[in-house]
Amino acid sequence: MQLKDLKIIVTGGAQGMGAHFATRLKEAGAQVAAGDVNEEALKALPAGIHRRKLDVSKEDECASFVAWAHEQMGGLNGLINNAGILRDGLLVKKDKATGQVTKLTVDQWNAVIGVNLTGATLMVRETVAKMVEKEQRPGVIVNMSSIARHGNRGQSNYVSAKAALAANTVTWAREFASFGVRVGAIAPGMIETPMTQGMNQKARDALVANIPVARIGVPEDIWVAVKFILECDYFNGRTIDVDGGLSM
């Protein structure tokens, strides 16, 4: 699909990778609707990008955002499922000094699953339903998984969500084939974004030291892969790792 022909939603579009994707798509001539919980940051996006508050963990907001985006752009044929959060913590932890045992809270679990998995699934459901309803084809979905989908200490919630997204990329590619909708995924490694900048510095430094290309990634590195999925009509049902060779 040509980028200029896209009428596409970007979730988590106010900052980091989402803002970069939205900007690059706009530069390429696509129509873009960006959603994010951070309304103030949305205002900083380039002119011409449609923008509106969106909390993907809320079913009604997903449905209303998709309907609004379709109306604003005069159609809808794409989604970049980028919204995500971190609430890291060991499932069970024992303090070496005091012996106190702490556990990952249900709130930590639910927050990440609610945004990174349930919210992403709701956005796919609503977007594809609108495409089918309006007989808009071809269509394309890009899910943002993670290198962490293979397992990573202290991220039971995040790993669960990102592994499920990678698996459902295959599921949805098969389910939506008859609708003319492709589904692909990107699994970024360590990327310079506001979310990763908030990591524990010691853990961050240790990760970067293990990246074979010897640097942290930047949003443009991921955009190159996103662009490939959007443009390559023969790509479907697969996840691309873009991680500098990092293994967790």
Chain centre to alpha carbon of residue 125: 15
Rounded (10°) angle between helices 120-133 and 156-176: 20
Residues in the chain: 248
Catalytic site residue from 158, 172, 176, 223: 158
Burial of residue 32, with CB atoms counted within 10 A of its CB: 0-12 exposed, 13-18 middle, 19 or more buried: buried
Residue 158: active-site member:
yes
Q: Which of 230, 221, 223 is nearest to 78 (CA)?
A: 230
Query: Annotated catalytic sites, by residue?
Result: 158
